[in-house]
Chains A and B, each alone.
Chain A
């Protein structure tokens, strides 16, 4: 199908873009890579009045590192996550997750800020941002504010973004030495939406899991930190021979709905199998 009509404007600067967004009464949608947005427009799932093309704004690019965090511009493309030395060194979770995002051509266009703003519950990067305890830098005419990823995602395609606000960058805290990360997802086809996915960031005490942040996606209305699973695996030594240590906790944290073609208990089983795989890969993975 074809998109409904809309106005299109390409601001010359970030300040210009923020002015347009502020004056649009919430009717404007920013577009950068457009890899989810345009599919939705073509299928007429959404019909905004105004698209604000932020895709060429240099202020939204760039990668930098301070002593305690890595800052990635909102226009960082998924493909950049696979080639950036900074990401490889300090954010191995993002590098591990990136190949799971769509396909080659999608990764060439889609952006970090776009994926977080769209807040698809099956998307990889929101889960990574929550697992890494990232903060989103939101710009508006009023200035900037920072929101923790865990507080940013409110529900199905729902975020803490207020009218007139734009994600300008994401700050990822530098993980302590020895932190380990793992990521996996189950989907019907390569590049298809995850039926269940899991990102884990964990520190180790010797060979035992100390503080673990398991974040599930694709099986709730948003990327979701699983506190019971985190508590259940703390102090344990991977690899796990069976799932008895964490299976009951998964059932406490996740309550997926029945879907046509996929029962809730099937999905819980998949989550349990996936959790075992991800936790076992933690013990093999080199320290971050």
Chain B
């Protein structure tokens, strides 16, 4: 019988070192939400389709439902909480608010992080390219138009 095996991990979470133990089978989203009460990372489909659980691992977007908490040992994780507090998302958040691009808000943290990765890369994308980038993040309010507008506005200003 396999018990709830615990794994020691050392990671950097939102810029701060974190040394703890995680259950082997616990995915990163549950670890963030249940153990650390960082509930800004949402959990929708839990099999990699909806994008609500997007976080940054080593600066790149990743599905936290398709990553084991144990796998982040030795890597840096950033969540919506850390990126909001640091002000890195301020511009995107302001543009989302200005256009009501966050309607029910469930997809917003994932969309903001996905948008952040491309905006921070300095890419200048067309509307159809932006749609392709966010194609892995589902908004069931279907408010994509305003979301694309908001991302494009930040991209045009050339800062994030």
Q: Which residues of A approach B to under 8 Å, CB–CB? A: 1-8, 10, 31, 34-35, 38-39, 41-43, 49, 51, 53, 55-56, 79, 99, 102-106, 108-109, 189-191
Contact = CB atoms under 8 A, between A and B. Distances in A.
B2 interface: yes
B47 A8 contact: no
Nearest to B24: A8
Given A7-B5, A53-B68, A103-B51, 7 more contacts: A38-B65, A42-B65, A49-B2, A99-B132, A103-B136, A104-B118, A108-B62
A51 B74 CA distance: 18
B2 A5 contact: yes
Nearest to A33: B66
Interface residues of B, number: 35
Given A6-B24, A39-B47, A49-B2, A105 B70 contact: no
Nearest to B28: A38
Contacts of A41: 25
B70 A38 contact: no
Contacts of A39: 47-48, 66
B46 interface: yes
18 contacts: A3-B27, A5-B25, A8-B25, A10-B7, A10-B73, A31-B71, A34-B67, A38-B67, A39-B48, A41-B25, A53-B71, A55-B71, A103-B51, A103-B135, A103-B137, A104-B118, A105-B60, A106-B48
A7 B137 CA distance: 31
Nearest to B69: A8
B31 to A, nearest CB: 12
Given A5-B3, A35-B66, A38-B68, A106 B46 contact: no
Contacts of A55: 71
Contacts of A1: 46
Nearest to B55: A105
B60 to A, nearest CB: 4
A193 to B, nearest CB: 11
Contacts of B74: 56
Contacts of A103: 51, 135-137
Contact of B70 (A5, A53, A190): A53
B67 to A, nearest CB: 7
Nearest to A55: B71
B83 interface: no
Contact of B27 (A7, A10, A42): A42
Most chain A CB inside 10 Å of its own CB: which residue of B24, B74, B133: B24
A8 B61 contact: no
Interface in B1-36: 2-5, 7, 24-25, 27, 30
Contact of A35 (B48, B60, B117, B135): B48
A176 to B, nearest CB: 33
A2 to B, nearest CB: 7
B46 A34 contact: no
Contacts of A5: 2-5, 24-25
Contacts of A10: 7, 70, 73
A109 B67 contact: yes
A223 to B, nearest CB: 22
A191 B135 contact: yes
Contact of A34 (B4, B71, B136): B71
Interface in B103-136: 114, 117-118, 132-133, 135-136
A35 B2 contact: no
B152 interface: no
B41 interface: no
A7 B6 CA distance: 9
A12 to B, nearest CB: 11
Nearest to A35: B66
Nearest to B58: A108
